[in-house]
Structure 1
Amino acid sequence: MNNFALEAVLNELLSPHLIKDYCPNGLQVEGKTEVKKIITGVTACQALIDRAIEEKADALLVHHGFFWKGEPAEIRGMKYRRIKALIENGINLYAYHLPLDVHTQVGNNVQLAQRLGLDITGGLELGNPRSVAIYGELEQAISGEDFAARIAMALQREPLHIAPNSPDLIKKVGWCTGGGQDYIELAAQQGCDAFISGEVSERTTHTARELGIHYFAAGHHATERYGVKALGEWLAQEHGFDINFIDIDNPV
């Protein structure tokens, strides 16, 4: 498939024009015209680019790409080496950030829900049909310790569990993959027993304790591993691409 045609296919599925983001979504670095083999991964780091080169990929499809709002505009140092490697090897770089978080089929939030046994109810941002944070329920209420164990098993990573003073069971859960810890107050306001995100801030501990809500920091990388993987699988099934998901280890 033509590289710009592939971008059109991805844009049709993910609708990036409907959400305001911190980076450009779509084809960020142009490579060879014809795309057959695609490497997918969470972040366009040098290690993933090197693997794409080794695999002789025509494209790299990631959740975290380049050109973030507020970053230096100059292409030098680490940024230069990454982009140089892509251009020299003719590798197209496609990146989708928030559009991939919120997608109802291949999105990070939906994929996390499937792995944790959560039935999605709606968005925490009331009135926003593409809410970055969502909520749902477990089939049966469980303890915070049991839910932490479930997260660890699903994501292959022990979560940080900040428990409120009360030993209440968890039934209603809010979540936002990646760096969504500040949605915890919204989750508490809407009656959630627990909130999950990838990262944690110093203030999150006090917020969880004072609002009486369980908080689980399950890892930015770990909570966002499965959206881009599902997107690649969709491309393989619907359009016949040769897809290989490569998970570059990241404990954060």
Structure 2
Amino acid sequence: MAHRTELERLLAATLEPSRFKDYGPNGLQVEGRDQVRHLVCGVTASLALIDAAIESGADAILVHHGLFWRGQDGRVVGWMKQRLARLLAHEISLFAYHLPLDAHAELGNNAQLARHLGWAADARFGEQDLGYIGALPAGLNSLDELSAHVEARLGRAAVRAAGDGRPLKRVAWCTGGAQGYFEAAIAAGADVFITGEISEPQAHYAAETGVAFIAAGHHATERYGVQALGKAVSEQLGLQYRFIDIPNPA
């Protein structure tokens, strides 16, 4: 058991959110009860996750995608009212960390995705050093081999934009909706770039530069950082811990 402020301080010390220019507030987004015994983690603060956390007896929820984002409608109506009402009625705290969780060198989404897929970064690239790049292991050096491996490990089909068929030696990656990092990955020397989503321009960039692109799913690529973070802080503070995966086709 730990006080809510102990958990907040440990998360802040681990992720250093003040270093990042982000799209929403990082840290405590909804204040619940003072004492935390059971921490539930998930990717997104959806109503389904909140209800599952209530059923699990959670005192606090830790997510990657929180409730509040820059430029959104500030009214507490509709889905926002439903989510907030559940949290407040059950006195459950909500902690959310976006870019700081993507970036952490050990517990972050990018580091944990690479660990899950079987390689490691040797450099970073892109805005705020969020992009990772490294060498592919033997046996994953064609687009077919790499795609099959990623799909098997993540449990979902990937969208591919083929490059020029070159042997794949250097892989760059950035989880979630980081398709805008493709050009920076190309400049960093990647033969293939992996992220969660693809937009219309990336297919043209792949065809014109020869660098392949794999969109492996926003949710699918961002399931691992919050698990690693939740487990680490729970072990340090003596909390019960549970990861709840709410399936998402995106």
Normalized against structure 1, the TM-score is what? 0.96
Answering whether residue 239 of structure 2 is matched by residue 238 of structure 1, we say no
Amino acid at match of 2:55: E
- What's the offset of the Cα at 1:114? 0.8
For residues 190 and 40 of structure 1, what CA distance do their matches in structure 2 show?
Answer: 33
Give the whole-Å Cα distance in 2 for the aligned partners of 1:101 and 1:251. Answer: 20
Provide the C-alpha distance between the structure 1 equivalents of 2:206 and 2:165, rounded to a whole number of angstroms: 13
Moved over 6 A (4+): none
2:103 is matched with 102
CA deviations on 1:100-150 (whole Å, 9 max, x unpaired) are: 00001110000011122222111113xx7x511111111326110000011
Partner residue of 1:180? 178
CA shift, 1:190, in A, is 2.0
Instruction: Among all aligned residue pairs of Structure 1 and Structure 2, give the percentage whose two residues are the same amino acid.
Output: 45
Deviation at 1:19? 0.7
In the alignment, which residue of structure 2 is the partner of 1:151? 150
- Structure 1 residues without counterparts, runs of 5 or longer: none
Q: Displacement of 1:153 after TM fit?
A: 1.3
Q: Give runs of aligned pairs for residues 5-44 of structure 1, distance below 5 A.
A: 5-44=6-45
Residue 199 of structure 2 corresponds to residue 201 of structure 1:
yes
Deviation at 1:4, TM superposition (A): 1.6
> How far did 1:237 drift?
2.3
**Any conservation in 1 of the 2:165–2:210 contact (CA below 8 Å)?**
no
Q: Which structure exhibits the higher relative contact order, with contacts defined as CA atoms closer than 8 Å and separated by 6 or more residues?
A: 2
The aligned residue for residue 59 of structure 2 is 58
Aligned partners of 2:96, 2:195: CA distance in 1, in Å?
Answer: 21
Aligned to 2:84: 83
Matched, 1:161 2:160: yes
Q: Structure 2: 5+ residue runs without aligned partners?
A: none
CA RMSD, 1 decimal: 1.1
Check the 8 A contact 2:111/2:120 in 1, yes or no. Answer: no
Please give the alpha-carbon distance, in whole angstroms, between the structure 1 residues aligned to 2:154 and 2:167.
21
How many residues are aligned here? Answer: 248
One-letter amino acid of the counterpart of residue 136, structure 2: L
Give the TM-score normalised by the residue count of structure 2: 0.97
Residue 235 (structure 1) shift: 1.8
Deviations 1:184-242 (A, max 9, x none): 11111222100001011011111111111110000000000000011111123222210
